[in-house]
Amino acid sequence: MRLATWNVNSIRARVERVTDWLQRADIDVLAMQETKCADDQFPTMPFAALGYEVVHCGFNQWNGVAIASRVGIEDVEVGFDGQPTWSDSPDAEAAAEARALGATCNGVRVWSLYVPNGRTVGSPHYHYKLEWLGALRDTASKWLAADPAAQIALTGDWNIAPTDEDVWDIESYRDSTHVTEPERAAFRAVVDAGYIDVVRPFTPGPGVYTYWDYTQLRFPKNRGMRIDFILGSPALAARVTHAEIVRDERRSKGKVGPPSDHAPVLVQLD
């Protein structure tokens, strides 16, 4: 089975790009993030025409997560137990964001995750991000405790560069989110809970990234960050025979439609 994750940065703007790659790369299951649409706006038909079922969680033009599968979708779950909510105003009722969607596809429990950005260090959004990651760690730990043989893939845009080599120039980010020690510790806590970065052994750094900003020729100059990951349970990790960051899909020339600022990340399971 070929499983992939991709922050598509607006599925309506890039549906042709995504479906074209699904065919060329022979993907069985694709987790998507930052779809930027409500459920009734998701372009389901192009996926259905290729034989994919799609589940989506989106409340408005922000965030949004989806899973497309041609090997079945069962037990769909919007959000994980304990997932924090967010409100712009401390006086307003907190509302859940479209950041986590789970489904079982051919025996693999796939989670499409769009971890909060954090915005600025020390801001309420930053603390929300850490709370969100802590809740994910706690719940994901319980999944493995309940079934150590479970095949689970925590996929998506984590908005964290876990090590200095995951950033093109760490000095440029010293005072920014994505690289602070609390964020990195929150990422490590998920790993320590038993989830393995199944892509890194096949894509060693430095200079190997998944995200490049659109500005300042960041992509041609390879000034990027590695922030998109597939973390697998031990049972899933044992099945991985190949993994890659499909950097070529970040290009514009010779491709269908405009690129996302992220590249797809995929694994091959035996």
Q: Is it the case that residue 93 has pLDDT exceeding 90?
A: no
Structure tokens of 121?
């260090």
Query: pLDDT-derived band of residue 86, with 50, 70 and 90 as boundaries?
Result: confident
Q: Is 138 a catalytic residue?
A: no
Feature table: binding site for Mg(2+): 7, 34, 157, 159, 261-262
pLDDT, the chain, mean? 95
Q: What is the pTM of this model?
A: 0.96
Return all residues near 18 (Cβ < 8 A) that are at least 6 apart: 6, 8, 11, 30, 32
Q: Is 157 a catalytic residue?
A: yes
Q: Is it the case that residue 92 has pLDDT exceeding 60?
A: no
Q: Left if phi > 0, otherwise alpha if psi is -120 to 50, otherwise beta: which for 55?
A: beta
Query: pLDDT-derived band of residue 88, with 50, 70 and 90 as boundaries?
Result: low
Catalytic residue among 52, 126, 157, 228: 157
Query: pLDDT-derived band of residue 81, with 50, 70 and 90 as boundaries?
Result: very high
- Write phi, then psi, for 248 (nearest 5 degrees): -60, -25
Domains of the chain, start order: 1-86+96-267 (3.60.10.10)
- Kindly report, residue by residue over 207-262, the tens digit of the pLDDT: 999 999 999 999 999 999 999 999 999 999 999 999 999 999 999 988 899 999 99
Feature table: binding site: 7, 34, 157, 159, 261-262
Catalytic residue among 28, 52, 114, 195: 114
Q: How far apart are CA 226 and CA 239, in angstroms?
A: 23
